[in-house]
A and B are shown apart, each in its own frame.
Chain A
Amino acid sequence: RKEVEQDPGPFNVPEGATVAFNCTYSNSASQSFFWYRQDCRKEPKLLMSVYSSGNEDGRFTAQLNRASQYISLLIRDSKLSDSATYLCVVNSYSSASKIIFGSGTRLSIRP
C-alpha cells in the first residue's frame, strides 16, 4: 500500500460545479498536510496548507480527518482555470523522505 494515495481521476465537471476529492495517508505519525497544484507540464505550486480545524481560502476548503487518516479538498463554483492536477503532501517531520507527495488527482473543468 502506498503511503499517500489519491484517486487519479480524471474528475470531469462543468464550470460552476462543486467538486471534492480525498487523499488518504498510512502513517499515523504524519503531522502536516498540504495541497499543491500542478498544471500540465509545469512545476507544482503550493495551493494551501491543511489545518486540523479545517481551513478555507476563497473557493477552496481543506479538511483533515486524523481518525480516518485522510485530507480533503473541496472546490466551489469551479472555474475553467481550476483544471489541473492536485497533489496532496504529507509530512511526518522525521526526515525529508517522509515528505510524501501523492500521485495527484486530475481535474478537468468543462465550459
Chain B
Amino acid sequence: GAGVSQSPSNKVTEKGKDVELRCDPISGHTALYWYRQSLGQGLEFLIYFQGNSAPDKSGLPSDRFSAERTGGSVSTLTIQRTQQEDSAVYLCASSWTGTSSYNEQFFGPGTRLTVL
C-alpha cells in the first residue's frame, strides 16, 4: 500500500519568505509526527498530532513554526519568515496510534529545505 508521502521533496527559498510543507500519512494512521534533521544530526522532534489535535507542540523551535492537520489525515507544517538556520530535512512520520504504547513510525522521504 501507499506509504507516507511528503511534498515538495526539495524546497529552496530566500530568507524571510514563508514555506509550507505537506505530509500525507498512511491511511488509517491516527498519529502523525514532524521531525527536523540537520546534516549529520539526529531527529529533532517538532510536533505530534493525535487525530486533528496537537497534544504536544513542545518541539516547535519558535513561533515562526506552526502546523495543522485536517480531517485526521493531511498535515501542513508552515515556517514563516524563514531563516538560514531553518535549513534541514523535515521528516514526517505516522503510526497507528499515539504514545500510550509505542507503534512503529513510518517515515516519509522528507522535504529538504534550503534557505538562502
- CB-based contact A99/B102 at 8 Å: yes
Contacts of B48 in A (CB 8 A): 95-97
Interface residues on B, range: 20 to 34
Task: Name 9 extra pairs, CB < 8 A, besides A93-B99, A96-B48.
Answer: A8-B40, A43-B110, A44-B105, A44-B107, A45-B107, A46-B104, A87-B43, A93-B101, A101-B43
Q: Mark A33-74, 1 if CB is under 8 A from B, else 0.
A: 010000000111110000000000000000000000000000
Contacts of A101 in B (CB 8 A): 35, 42-43, 45
In whole angstroms, what is the CA distance A102 to B41 when docked? 9
- CB-based contact B42/A96 at 8 Å: no
A22 at the interface (CB under 8 A from B): no
Chain A contacts to B: CB under 8 angstroms: 4, 8, 32, 34, 42-46, 87, 91, 93-104
A104 in contact with B45 given A43-B110, A91-B102, A93-B100 (CB within 8 Å) = no
Closest-CB distance, A68 to chain B (whole angstroms): 21
| Majority secondary structure, A binding face | mixed
In whole angstroms, what is the CA distance A45 to B40 when docked? 17
Residue in B41, B91, B98 whose beta carbon sits within 8 Å of that of A43 in the complex: B91
Residue in B40, B41, B58, B99 whose beta carbon sits within 8 Å of that of A91 in the complex: B99
In whole angstroms, what is the CA distance A100 to B110 when docked? 18
Contacts of B102 in A (CB 8 A): 32, 34, 91, 93, 99
Contacts of A93 in B (CB 8 A): 99-102
In whole angstroms, what is the CA distance A34 to B84 when docked? 32
A96 in contact with B109 given A87-B43, A101-B43 (CB within 8 Å) = no
Q: Mark B36-74, 1 if CB is under 8 A from A, else 0.
A: 000011110100100000011011000000000000000
Contacts of B56 in A (CB 8 A): 95-97
